[in-house]
């Protein structure tokens, strides 16, 4: 019984393979250059997506460890670090003042102190240098 089932399974498999082969041969004759162009296009698209995925993927650290030595050497106060974190978040002086319960003039003073301690002249430079020194995430 098993031998008969295996024999018929083999016959059916060979028949299905033959039909698929004939269908493929028909498609290649009917659409010869379109098939190749399509396959090449799909291969390039898949390769581009894969390369883009690999280039864009960045390993992010799970935990942020603040560089305490840099904080101490620059002499940054806790309030200045809080202001710096909010600068990195893109907040304005008024928003920072509201968040921290300070006056806008005090925030301006802290920002000016940060510029001097980090040796920069703009907010973007301050945030970039702070990230390089691992002062903020």
> How is residue 32 written in tokens?
């010869």
Q: How far, in Å, CA of 91 to CA of 86, rounded?
A: 6
Predicted confidence band of residue 19 (pLDDT cuts 50, 70, 90): confident
SS3 59: coil
Give residue-wise pLDDT tens across range 88-108. Answer: 888 888 999 998 898 989 999
pLDDT at residue 84 is higher than 80: yes
Q: How far, in Å, CA of 122 to CA of 88, rounded?
A: 12
pLDDT at residue 60 is higher than 70: no
Kindly state the DSSP code that residue 58 receives in the 8-state scheme: -
Under 8 Å between Cβ of 81 and 135: yes
- Write down the pTM of the prediction: 0.54
Task: Provide CB contacts within 8 A for 71, sequence distance 6+.
Answer: 81, 135
Residue 117, CA distances (Å) to 66, 74, 113 in order = 17, 6, 6
Give residue-wise pLDDT tens across range 29-42. Answer: 777 777 778 888 89
- Exposed (0-12), middle (13-18) or buried (19+): which is 71, by Cβ within 10 Å? middle
More confident residue, 67 or 44: 44
Q: How far, in Å, CA of 58 to CA of 42, rounded?
A: 26
What is the per-residue pLDDT for 132? Answer: 87
Q: How far, in Å, CA of 32 to CA of 47, rounded?
A: 23
């Amino acid at each position: 019984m098993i031998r008969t089932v295996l024999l018929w399974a083999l016959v059916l498999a060979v028949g299905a393979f033959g039909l698929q082969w004939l269908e493929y041969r028909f498609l290649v004759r009917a659409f010869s250059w379109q098939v190749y162009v399509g396959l090449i296009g799909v291969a390039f698209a898949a390769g581009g997506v894969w390369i883009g995925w690999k280039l864009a993927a960045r390993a992010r650290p799970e935990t942020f460890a603040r560089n305490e030595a840099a904080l101490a050497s620059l002499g940054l106060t806790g309030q200045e670090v809080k202001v710096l974190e909010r600068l990195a978040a893109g907040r304005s002086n008024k928003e920072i003042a509201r968040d921290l319960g300070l006056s806008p003039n005090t925030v301006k003073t802290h920002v000016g102190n940060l510029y001097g301690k980090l040796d920069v002249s703009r907010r973007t430079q301050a945030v970039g240098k702070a990230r390089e020194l691992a002062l903020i995430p």
